[in-house]
Structure 1
Amino acid sequence: MISQKAKYALRALTALARAETGDPLQISDIADRQKIPKKFLEQILLDLKRNGMVTSRRGKQGGYLLLRPASDITYGEVLRLIDGPIAPLPCLSITAYRRCEDCAGEKDCEIRHVFARVADETRAVLFSTTIADAITAPASSDVMELAD
């Protein structure tokens, strides 16, 4: 599962992507539109700014803007920045590899083999889907609602 912070970061980037080009959005506007606690949003935007995804302008007409085009910011990049490694097992992490403590050998680990496929497919979707894709894609009918 992704964290609430990552969901908020993606929603903030979506709001900035929908804004008129060159028209900064103030934190309070993003917070209201996306239902994000303002103090939490400030921290998230600072993280995104430090990592070159957004920039800010000071002054009366100030606020936040995307630093890069929405078509250049992937879901995977945002999730990795906010939540860390995108892997179901530490031995499958690209950025924070760690051998599983209870593993006799990765080559023969059935669990690793299955979750390697999951991780590969997940990364393929996350790193090929941009903020621009998400705001232009119609609502998907292939998302199944799960019964409790």
Structure 2
Amino acid sequence: MREQSRSDEDLGVRYLRMALEYGRATRALLDGNQCEAPFWQSMGHALELSLKSLLKKHGFDEMDLMHFISHDLYGAERSYLRQCPDSQLISADASRLIRHLSDYHARLDFRYPCLFPAASLPDPADAERALAAHLTAVAGHFGVTTHDRS
């Protein structure tokens, strides 16, 4: 059984660290160039966890994150911006990516071949760059090192 006594702030950092791991996975999958579904699944999950890390830092509890936010990327972004209306932490590129992937991610479309989006998705390299910049900004907000390729 996992330890349940860690502080709430620590949980937000753990969300962020996992988001960074998924971000590194998207980079590896992009470099592999033949893993479309896992790439987009990892992309959506990295965005989800990064947004949840921000929400956790700004007062959301675990039940809010699991049940109220769930897998809704756009809802998570909106909730964060309601809490921090003057924040510039989520860039325009990241916001566009969040909006583009939100419905697909919430419905779990990237997990199943019968649901995989037939509509056009963003260019994977552009999406990965937007995600990397987003994760770097969020990590900086937490004072966490990203171990990015730079």
- Structure with greater Cα Rg: 1
Fold shared by both chains (TM-score > 0.5): no
Indicate the structure with greater helix content: 2
Indicate the structure with greater strand content: 1
Tell me the TM-score normalised to structure 2 length: 0.31
Tell me the TM-score normalised to structure 1 length: 0.31
